Amino acid sequence: MTIRSDDSTAEGLAPEAVPPRPAAVRQWVTVADGHAQTDLVGKPLRMRRVFGQLVVAALVVLAVVAVGGSYASRNVAEREAVTDAATMTDLLATSAISPALTDDLLSADPTAAREKLEKVVQKQVLGSSVVRVKIWKPDGTILYSDEKRVEGQKFELGDDEIDVLKNHTTRAEVSDLSKPENQYENKASKLLEVYRPVWTPDGSPLLFETYLPYDTVASRTSALWRGFAGITVTSLMLLLVLMLPIIWRLLDRVKAVQDQRVALLEHAVDASTAERSRIAATLHDGVVQELAAASFAVSGAAEKAETDGQNDLARMLRGAATAVRGTIGGLRSLLVDIYPPSLATAGLGAVLHDLATTARTRDIQVTVIMPPDGRSGLDAEGERLVYRVAQECLRNATKHASAANVVIELAVVGPDVVLTVTDDGRGFVAQDMLERPPEGHFGLQVMTDLAARAGSRLELASAPGEGTSWRLTVPRS
């Protein structure tokens, strides 16, 4: 076992004796990333952030309501404007157009009848509310229009116009200005048209049609939207104000539960550490001391038996003493595994040295590389994490990988401390190990949980015959 700094070889060890690290031909696979954890213990609840999210959500709701309300109010306004236009056209037809109609409008010379209609239309119908008037024969001929260029022309009536004449109804809709009969109205961006039947004095049916500006729909839409928006926005703001105390109370309760979870976790960790320390102290002061006394006693008995000439007995007693001393060594290694007392006193370097010493008894050559000053810059929790991961990696290399050489390297890289443990064992397919871990390999889950809870990143690189590398990145506080 050797301890050395970044570039220097340990005193008394030739450079070629340091086991080479396997070539970096394997791809790193992330096993755990504590920065991506969403657990409440890992990411404390922030009131300001929650309220910011609520404000953004409220603004999104207001935007959705604004768009939907605008669309709905436009449709409602259009329907109301169309209804108003139909009502107005009915009144104009009854009060102005029907009294001005004569049978001569259908004669061979309708000039006088048109002039009479012209006076009524110009005086009583046309204006800001009505921009065009047409009177049709059932065959599609325009008998009268204030646009004289279409008078006498014949166009095909649509199904709606025919239905109005047949069923004596009134129909209103947005004008299709692309139709041939609307060629002189296409300067307008949009118009409403209303048509209904009228009758000459002798009972001949005609179709009375008016065109109205679409501006009435826009003004009606604006009025409806102002009323709708005022009520809706006020209601949403009132609802938000009423919900804030409830949300605040819920957040307080969530934060209290979170604090309780953190306290319980810390208590569990402290209790675990205290229990491990108690068990280690009990074993050291009890079983280990008693075995040490038994070893001395058996060794003394062996010397006495040899003095008495009982060589066979002496040989058996020496074998028993050796076995007891081996058991003592195993127990002391186990004590280091259970609770490394040097971690709090001598520091992380000494603990890694203890791990290497323990592994040396299992015929594994371990090289420990530390920063030049021997310090990691981690707090006590971070050093415990590094120790636990290094311990588990070394245990895996010893138990499963059949490795002969292991390199444990601790380096400070910017704001992080990076632990790399590399062995020259038989290796495995890293992705398969993550997806289908073999039975009994609880170490992987242990290291994953430890790294994730501490907000660190654990990575793995391995391939059959290429050894295994573990890399733990711990942010310095």
Express each pLDDT in 121-137 by its tens digit.
Answer: 999 988 878 889 999 99
pLDDT tops 80 at residue 21? no
Instruction: Determine the pLDDT at residue 403.
Output: 85
Is the per-residue pLDDT at 249 higher than 50? Answer: yes
DSSP 3-state of 205: strand
Check: CB of residue 156 under 8 Å from CB of residue 140: yes
Distances in whole angstroms, Cα of residue 12 to Cα of each of 8, 18, 163: 12, 11, 111
- Cβ neighbour number for residue 57 with a 10 Å cutoff: 11
Could you tell me the pLDDT band of residue 36, with boundaries at 50, 70 and 90? Answer: low
Q: What is the mean pLDDT of residues 185-209?
A: 87
Burial-class residue 97 by CB neighbours within 10 Å (0-12, 13-18, 19+).
buried
pLDDT at res. 472: 92
- 47 confidence band (pLDDT: 50, 70, 90): low
- Bridge partners of 205? 199
CA atoms within 13 A on the CB side of 189: 4
Average pLDDT of every residue of the chain: 78
Residue type, 112: A
**pLDDT the model gives residue 199:** 93
Task: Give the phi and the psi of residue 134 in degrees, each rounded to 5.
Answer: -140, 145
Q: How much of the chain exceeds pLDDT 70, in percent?
A: 81
pTM exceeds 0.85? no
CB atoms within 10 A of CB 253: 10
Question: Beta strand pairing status for 132-136 and 205-213?
Answer: antiparallel
Tokens found for residue 221: 């839409």
Give residue for tokens 């939907």.
Answer: 68
Average pLDDT over residues 433-440: 66
- Express the helix, strand and coil content of the chain in percent, nearest 5 each: 55, 15, 25
Tokens encoding 9 = 């070889």
Task: Give the pLDDT band (50/70/90) at residue 337.
Answer: low
- For residue 97, pLDDT beyond 60: yes
Q: Which of 87-101, 298-312, 324-338, 411-425 has the lowest mean pLDDT?
A: 324-338
pLDDT at 442: 58
CA distance 348 to 353: 9
Rounded CA-CA distance 229/207 in Å is 41
Mean pLDDT of 158-177: 88
pLDDT, residue 383, reads 84
Provide mean pLDDT across the span 360-376. 81
Question: At residue 62, what is the residue type?
Answer: L
Asked if pLDDT for residue 205 goes beyond 80, the answer is: yes
What's phi and psi for 404, nearest 5 deg?
Answer: -100, -25
* Domains of the chain, CATH where assigned: 2-36+347-475 (3.30.565.10), 55-213 (3.30.450.20)
Question: How far is CA 129 from its chain centroid?
Answer: 55
How far CA 130 is from CA of 34, 99, 136, in Å, comes to 72, 19, 17
Long-range Cβ contacts of 324-333 (<8 Å, 24+ apart): 324/291, 324/294, 324/295, 324/298, 325/295, 327/291, 328/288, 328/291, 328/292, 328/295, 329/361, 331/283, 331/287, 331/288, 331/291, 332/288, 333/358, 333/361
Question: Which pLDDT value is given to residue 332?
Answer: 64
Q: Give the residue with greater pLDDT, 471 vs 246.
A: 471
- Measured distance CA(210)–CA(196) in Å, rounded: 9
DSSP string, 321-349: HHHHHHHHHHHHHHHHHH--THHHHT-HH
